[in-house]
Amino acid sequence: MQRKTFGNMQCPIARSLERVGEWWSILLLRDAFHGLTRFDQFQKSLEIAPNILARRLASLVDAGLLERRRYNEHPPRYEYLPTERARDFRPILWLLNSWGTRHFAPEGPSVLIVNRKTGRRADPIVVDRVSGRPIGSEEFKWIAGPAADERTRKRYAERDAAAVIEKPSASRGKKPS
């Protein structure tokens, strides 16, 4: 069975999943940020089959998330280093770590994020760069952007129309102020 590709979809989440949506990819990026660079280091850390590791590394290189650099001529050996694109993904890993600790670690935190200088624990959140307000509430929503195709525009228009219809029923039973 051939896997569906998300690379041609308009949705930036789908396009991102095309590059990092396979769990080995995210774990490889995590390990790369922990300083691992070589095939054998990744294999030992993840206990991953060599053929799967080779495919995942190649995929991350093709996606521009890792740079493959030769460090030995004979025999040829390569290291894999995070690119600027990967460094832009690091806060997503921090958020995923925090979310996973909050919701799926009943035993408590096994990995913490701390400030390098102070050693104080960090609690990452997503903040709107313009307003400085945390993003995570109903205050923010998705809308179709300027490059949206007709299908995407229609999907968001239908969603907005449904939200308008739902709003009056949500306020039932409340006295007008």
The count of other CB atoms within 10 Å of the CB of residue 65 is 23
Give the helix/strand (H/E) hosting 160.
helix 150-170
Question: What pLDDT was estimated at residue 140?
Answer: 85
The count of other CB atoms within 10 Å of the CB of residue 29 is 22
Architecture of domain 12-87: Orthogonal Bundle (1.10)
Exposed / middle / buried, residue 16 (Cβ in 10 Å: 0-12, 13-18, 19+): middle
Mean pLDDT by 10 residues, the chain (177 residues): 63 76 90 96 96 96 96 94 96 92 90 93 92 85 86 86 66 49
Question: What pLDDT was estimated at residue 177?
Answer: 47
Whether the predicted model's global pTM rises above the 0.85 cut: no
Angle between helix 23-33 and 39-46 (nearest 10): 120
- d(CA 13, CA 9) in angstroms, rounded, equals 9
